Structure 1
Amino acid sequence: MLRGSKVGLRARHEDDIPILQAELYDDVVNYSRTEVRPWRPITPGSKESQLVVDDTEQRHVPFSVVELDGGTLVGTATLWGIDHHNRSAHIGLGLLPASRGKGYGTDVVAALCHYGFVVRGLHRLQIETLSDNAAMLRSAERNGFVREGVLRSSAWVMGEFLDDVLLGLLVQDWKPDSKSYAAPGR
Structure 2
Amino acid sequence: MKRIVWYIQCELPAVLRYCKSCGTKREYRCSGQFRVNAQRKHLDIWLIYRCLHCDATWNLPICSRIRSVGIDADLLERYHNNDRKLAAQHALNMGLLRQNGAIPCVPAFTVAGENLPTGGPVELHLICDYPLPVKVSAVLRQKLNLSCRMLNQLIDSGSIKGAPGIHVLEQKLPGHITLTVQNDATDL
| TM-score of the pair, normalised by structure 2 | 0.26
Q: Say which structure, 1 or 2, has more relative contact order (CA 8 Å, 6+ apart).
A: 2
